[in-house]
Structure 1
Amino acid sequence: MKNPLTIYRQRILSVEKGRYLLNPEGKVKSIVVYPNYYRVGSSNLGFQSVYGILNEKRNIICDRAFLPDNDLEEWFEKKGNYLHSLDTFKPIRDFQLIFFSISFENDYLNVLKIIKYSGLDLLSNQRDENTPLIIAGGIAVSANPEPIADFIDVFLLGDAEVLLNSFCEEIIDAAGGEGKEFFLKIFKKLKGAYIPNDSINMESERKVEVKRLQNMEESSSYSRIISPLTEFSSMHLVEMSRGCASSCRFCLLGNYYGKPRMKSIDKLFEHIDSRLLYTHKIGLISCFIGRGDYINNLSKGIKERKLSASFSSIRFEDLNDEFVKLIAESGQKTVTLAPECGDESLRNKAGKQIEDDVIIKGIISLAKAGIRSIKLYFMIGFPGETTDDLKAIYKLVKKINNEGERNNLNFQIFISASSFVPKAFTPLQWSAMEDERRLKEKISLLRNLFAKINNVRFNCDLPKFAKIQALLSRGDRKVGRILQNAFSYKGDWRRAMRESDVNADYYVYRTRKKDEIFPWDFIDTGTKKSDLYAVYEKYFKN
């Protein structure tokens, strides 16, 4: 019988474009792993960027691996069957360095699966010198690595370009075959690297500084590999900017990455042009869109190259005539926007300073330009949220729908409601999360309300998964015991929490005190904790 991993690999590689021919002279053997399926991981810009950065260096090669598809999991339960890399089909355990790119807390369980499928011990203190060094980066672990710290050797906090460039400079003369200690010594000197076994004292002045890329001309954030088997089929993803101008009080990205830094138009199209041979379908990733000449030059470049372009995140404030025209002419079929709250005053408290009229006007202008599908993100469970606040979501969408009918516009509205999850390094990190039962009641209310509008489709996340995310977002190292239980119980988180000596509700449903020491306080993002608390107090004073 043919190895199912071989079939899986051939199916993927046969349709990929832009894949690297790994440098035969590279002495250091590394692999970047995304802890989810291929279709998800290859749609992730951070993962693609790490793969590119490492393979463009002189003395290192970088292979790839992903969480195996569901139908392969039973195969890995059999003794002697180990996970292999995608490009060279080598056992993951044979690489010197394993880089995990982790964007979401709920993928932590998949990290443990991959470590086990690779034939390695889960706990870092049980892996000897002859095993690979396991490194993790990405926004989830950069904010709070502690719940997964017992399983990882090194965390890289901040932007990959800065951290990996510094690391690769240190290994330029490596001869090959070096063990863990060689690389650990390098990481110990590297600013932005956190080694859990060094046991930083949370109450000391010692901090790990988050490394940020300030000059976007040095950005390496664009897709290297184009494939029809991804979430965004055959799309070339390119980062336009990093950071956000809004800094909403609940949002990790805006608070962690700071103010927006734009990539120049020339650099943007340099990255776009690098994959024009493979696709004319691009996805522009940004929390902030430039204005004036930037939009005009962007529009000109898209038209000249006859590109089909989509914008990942659009702010209502950016929906002026020129930008709406660009969206429509670029071929984007669905536009995603995030009012977050239906009630204007709650929206302002949350940090979204947008009036209802601006929201309605923006959506109508998109519909008039020919956009027939509008996706609106709302968040429920904010501290102090009332039933009237929930009903305000329905009322706002009803107003949008009525205005569309008044203008004889035909468009579909898709509502996506997610539960508020308190995140580290945000002003609402002191808040308790709303309990699961109450969140279910709120979702039921919204579902019943939106059933009254024909052209509106309502979808929501599951509160039980939001609870897991909240646990892993603000947990300390003891929470890793629940994570390990969940792995042992094959993803049964309820049983893992119930049978653990660690109280999950203590981390999820508890309001923190002002002077409480957080598990992530040893990380220095450049923002003072006292400043975040001042904004937190302002939220409740309003």
Structure 2
Amino acid sequence: MTILEKIALALPAVESPARYMGGEANSVVKDHSKMLARMAFVFPDTYEIGMSNNGMRILYHVVNREPDLLCEVAFAPWDDMAKEMERYDIPLYTHASYTPVSEFEVIGITLQTELNFTNVPYVLELSRIPAWQKDRKEEDPIVVAGGPAMANPEPVADFFDAFMIGDGEKVMVQFLRCVGEGRKAGLSRAEILTNLSKIDGVYVPSLRPVVTNKFGAIVPAEPAAGAYATTNGVRRLFIPVMDPKDYPVKNLIANMHLVHNRFSVEVMRGCAQGCRFCQAGIWYRPCRELDPDDVLDIAKAGIKATGERELGLLSLSTADYKPVEALTDSIIDDPFFDTVDVSLPSIRVNSFGQTLAGKIAALKGGRSATFAPETGSERIRKMINKTISDQDMYDAAEHAFSSGFNKIKLYTMIGFPTENEADMQAFCDLIFNLVKIGRKYNRGIQIAVSIGILIPKSFTGLQWAPYMDKETALRHIRYVREKFFKHPNVKINWASWETSFLEAVYSRGDRSLAPVIYEAYKQGIIFESDAYRFDYNKWLAVWEKCGYDTSWVYREREKDEVFPWDFIHAGTTKQYLRREWEKAFDPNSAPVPNCKWGDCQKCGIPGFGAEIKLADDPVRHKAPSRTPEEIKKLVVDRRPSQKVSYSYKITFTKTGISRFLPHQNMLSFFERTFLCAGIPIKFSEGFSPKPRIVNMGALPLGVETYCEIISVDLLQPLDLSPENLPKIKEQLSAPFPRGMEIVNIEPLKEKLSKHFPKAMVYTFTPETVPEGMLERFQAKQLPVVTNHRGQEIDLNEHILELDVQNGTIIAKIKCNNQGATASPFSIFAALMGEPYDPTKLNESSRRYLIRKISIEF
């Protein structure tokens, strides 16, 4: 039995079958036998999180554009699917070819958060690969990790053969070629790892000696020293320019709703604000911007290829993107984006001027603005070099609310060194003043405050700081909560101290954590990024069992202490970060300016400012700057008329693995495909417009269909001439998952609801046809069964015709007044003479591969 056949047996029992179907549209399929090297890119979290990740999309693209290299994706299965995989002997598999992950030369795991660490041994053992690097055999894949959490890879170092430190666009291809050529030459695993360690930016833990320092921490025997260009350490890599050729356009199209359903373009990488708590600001230096003409070209091509209705312009601080207003003007000027929701996340407060606020409000219809003051205390802001004032916040709020925004989201933190109750009061005063500003324009405005807890991370000015104890942290959070208890305009959310504590342990931990992580995984502690899964008491038990003392997180580090991650040269030197730590406590120190606009601060990044690449205004897509009033009028004038529409009946198939596509997901694919084709759909009227798509009753999950029907109302006619019909069927089927395909399109003169079917014909091929079944049907002696809703189904009334041809049972089943039939699973179970248990519907769908082959009107 193939993996795909086993998956089909497993999926009826899981909560979200679409997570595991595979066969995504836009998948790259290559001949494995002709590849120099193949990589299974494993995202160690759920499908809906992984498929939203832009880094995964980029690396999938840069590898697969190489003719002799291959990348396929896989994801961590939820507990229910893991149980079924064990039951049916299914190893972790890739989604494009259903190949076991263990058969690839390289397994790449991206770690976006430390809270995925326990999922590392989980996905490796599901892949039938030893979790520990020391236990792997010659034929096992090389296991490599990358991602932002690799600013300190030491807690998981013993699980990996290698790490890629920094930007991966170029080094990933070098890495795969090194492995492929080594395997081709018959080199041993040790020889391949030695060759990999010579690649700039690659860290092989087994080849770097470690020692134990006086505090009991495992640290590098040879910390990185010297300048970035000549260091003996592992250099964090950064690509010098944002190359549009590295940007994916034809992204994988997910089989279900994701965490972020959008097409994303990274307009800028890096931030030079110099916030002393911010790891990303150091890890992604220097600042490099993508040309806005390229941004627009990539966005349009990507939306056409994926059918997404939201465009995300991504960066650490999008309003700091030099041509942000000119880019916004170009988006507004292009009617292509009229049906696309454009989002500019990560807007810094003192960049949110009146002009940009008004344009964003006009473009988005006025929703919410997101700011990150980090704290309400100007004293603490000075300490962490967050160079915004309370007045900046008030000006930004004035701009936002006067432009029609009705909500401000504030991302803030507590837990900074020297923080006290006076700082909490300043925090509350800031919120009260923002409410006053907002209520001048709309009494129903909301200030949504999210309070995190400082996690002193590696490669920051605060990496010497202790983590705040629980009693103090909760007291500071409680102070703010009580001030706004039941306040109509303020909503306070706060982070879990316990979850943040675990992150603090991970963020600055060493290799002694690996056995603890493995034990936690064995105790079922996985998917820690899901707040509903986190159980601090389980962690306390694991730490006690492993004899692991976590009290070190409360200790302030010594000035010259060697850290576990000090083998990495991040570009920014440790000496610079140490000076930033000291300046934080000097009330007379001047603010560190944004070196993107000001003087080079000599942080250690080579180039002294020349490495910063800023973009100019668009040239090819240059557009006039309009006022918010002009923008609103333009959008209204360009909006297509809904008065005239064209109705079509579309017949399609859902076979193979696509039969597990849920009903709502299937309908969303039709909305997506018309957007890809540039054909506008008619939407319903009212507060929440919906696309005018109607189908003939939802089928139970797992039923193959060769004649599914929907109707759709379009705002422009289709060319259905005999010579064009095959082309348009192929075009509209392109964004569908494997097994789903349009087979016919025809004009519809009346609403589909006026022509509900009278019957549907299903087939099922059992191992043996029950004796006397046809005779019982003729004599009206078929049984009465109860469906999963507790309703009785008299098979003598529901089955209109019954026949057997070449061992296949063919049943015509009548439809109700909504165009749907009773569950074919319950009907065929009864025909087979098996007792039907409605609580075991999943077992039925495993046993019976039922096909709907026709509809009768």
**Could you say which TM-score interval applies, normalised by the shorter chain?**
over 0.9
Residue 854 of structure 2 corresponds to none
**1:473-503, Cα deviation, whole Å (9 max, x unpaired):** 1011112222122112222322111222331
213-222 vs 25-34, greater mean Cα deviation? 213-222
Residue 215 of structure 1 corresponds to 241
Residue 357 of structure 2 corresponds to 324
1:324 offset after TM fit, Å? Answer: 1.4
1:186-225 map, 5 Å: 186-200=195-209, 202-204=220-222, 205=225, 206-217=232-243, 220-222=246-248, 224-225=251-252
1:35 offset after TM fit, Å? Answer: 1.1
Residue 93 of structure 2 corresponds to 84
Residue 515 of structure 1 corresponds to 560
Whole-Å separation in 2 of the counterparts to 1:219 and 1:394: 47
Residue 705 of structure 2 corresponds to none
Whole-Å separation in 1 of the counterparts to 2:323 and 2:266: 18
1:527 lines up with 2:572 in the alignment: yes
1:232 lines up with 2:260 in the alignment: yes
1:287 offset after TM fit, Å? Answer: 1.8
Cα 1:122–1:458 change in 2 (3 A) is same
SS of match in other structure, 2:546: coil
1:112-123 map, 5 Å: 112-123=121-132
Residue 140 of structure 2 corresponds to 131
1:311 offset after TM fit, Å? Answer: 1.4
SS of match in other structure, 1:475: coil
Cα 1:79–1:439 change in 2 (3 A) is farther
2:316 corresponds to which of 278, 287, 291: 287
417-426 vs 274-283, greater mean Cα deviation? 274-283
1:401 offset after TM fit, Å? Answer: 0.4
2:275 corresponds to which of 248, 259, 264: 248
Whole-Å separation in 1 of the counterparts to 2:511 and 2:580: 28
426-435 vs 274-283, greater mean Cα deviation? 274-283
Cα 1:358–1:190 change in 2 (3 A) is same
- Greater Cα radius of gyration, structure 1 or 2: 2
Percent of residue pairs identical: 28
SS of match in other structure, 1:272: helix
Contact 2:412 2:452 in 1 (8 A): yes
2:551 corresponds to which of 495, 501, 505: 505
2:9 corresponds to which of 3, 6, 21: 3
Contact 1:217 1:264 in 2 (8 A): no
1:258 lines up with 2:264 in the alignment: no
Contact 1:377 1:417 in 2 (8 A): yes
Residue 329 of structure 2 corresponds to 299
Paired AA for residue 313 in structure 2: L
SS of match in other structure, 2:246: coil
Contact 1:427 1:536 in 2 (8 A): yes
Contact 1:302 1:309 in 2 (8 A): no
Whole-Å separation in 1 of the counterparts to 2:375 and 2:426: 8
**1:328-361, Cα deviation, whole Å (9 max, x unpaired):** 2332733321111011121121121101111122
1:121 offset after TM fit, Å? Answer: 1.6
Question: Please, which runs of 5 or more residues in structure 1 have no aligned partner?
Answer: none
Residue 388 of structure 1 corresponds to 422
Question: Please, which runs of 5 or more residues in structure 2 have no aligned partner?
Answer: 1-5, 211-219, 226-231, 526-537, 588-857
Cα 1:105–1:96 change in 2 (3 A) is same
TM-score (norm 2): 0.60
Cα 1:59–1:427 change in 2 (3 A) is same
2:346 corresponds to which of 313, 317, 330: 313
1:269 offset after TM fit, Å? Answer: 2.1
Residue 495 of structure 1 corresponds to 541
1:45 offset after TM fit, Å? Answer: 1.3
Contact 2:397 2:437 in 1 (8 A): no
Residue 50 of structure 2 corresponds to 41
SS of match in other structure, 1:216: coil
1:18 offset after TM fit, Å? Answer: 3.4
Residue 394 of structure 2 corresponds to 360
1:9-24 map, 5 Å: 16-22=24-30
1:59 offset after TM fit, Å? Answer: 1.1
Whole-Å separation in 1 of the counterparts to 2:161 and 2:323: 46
TM-score (norm 1): 0.93
1:21 offset after TM fit, Å? Answer: 3.3
Whole-Å separation in 2 of the counterparts to 1:213 and 1:219: 13
Paired AA for residue 369 in structure 2: V
Whole-Å separation in 2 of the counterparts to 1:421 and 1:365: 32
RMSD value, Cα: 2.5
SS of match in other structure, 2:373: strand
Cα 1:219–1:415 change in 2 (3 A) is farther
Whole-Å separation in 2 of the counterparts to 1:287 and 1:9: 34
Structure with more helix by fraction: 1
Cα 1:46–1:13 change in 2 (3 A) is same
Whole-Å separation in 1 of the counterparts to 2:545 and 2:286: 43
Paired AA for residue 350 in structure 2: E
Cα 1:352–1:22 change in 2 (3 A) is farther
Contact 1:121 1:127 in 2 (8 A): yes
SS of match in other structure, 1:428: coil
1:191 offset after TM fit, Å? Answer: 0.5
1:56-71 map, 5 Å: 56-71=65-80
